[in-house]
Amino acid sequence: MKELQFSIEIKAAKEKVWATLWEDTSFRDWANIIDEGTYMKGAMEEGKEIQFLSSVNGYGVTSLVEKLDPNAFILFRHSADTQASGQQEREKEWTGGTESYTLTEKDGVTTLLVKTEVPSEMEEVFTVRLPKVLERIKTLAVKHEESE
């Protein structure tokens, strides 16, 4: 596994950025950049499992919500690689890896820091896609901020 880290500054309250990250419609929007058709299934609660699945190819990952501080921090630990829309396990590419999202706000600007462990063979793909994801999250969060 290779750890990647990216951050972006967003002119929006951290509550708006958090909502952009985890509300179903906006999550599907930005996660689509990583893997087409990605959606979440399960409870976003500390100690519970959640699945990130692709409606296109059925592949995904089951993750434990290891640490959750709403509007500030979440840490996922990937516990199983899945296929068949989460019904079957597959090769252990992501199992054991972590992914975290940290939000800090100062003067109306939120810094979003994403750290993720990716399989070495996926490093190049994620190095290209994650900055695009952060830009999309920024666009969605600013739009969310302006609409209220």
State yes or no: pLDDT of 148 exceeds 70.
Answer: no
- The structure's pTM equals 0.91
Q: Taking residues 28-36, what's their average pLDDT?
A: 94
Distance CA 145, CA 133 (A): 18
Q: Tell me the pLDDT tens digit for each residue of 64-102.
A: 999 999 999 999 998 887 777 667 677 777 778 899 999
Average pLDDT, the chain: 91
Is the predicted pLDDT of residue 31 greater than 90, yes or no? Answer: yes
Mean pLDDT of 117-128: 90
> Residue 14 has what pLDDT?
96
User: Strands (DSSP E) along 29-128, which ranges?
Assistant: 38-42, 49-54, 60-69, 73-83, 88-89, 98-106, 109-118
Mean pLDDT on 37-44: 93
User: SS3 for 103?
Assistant: strand
Residue with tokens 């919500």: 65
Choose from 1-15, 73-87, 118-132 the range with maximum mean pLDDT: 1-15
Output phi, psi for 77, to 5 deg: -115, 120
pLDDT at 121: 86
Q: What is the pLDDT of residue 96?
A: 82
CA distances from 99 to 64, 91, 137 (A): 10, 19, 16
Provide the pLDDT for residue 87.
72
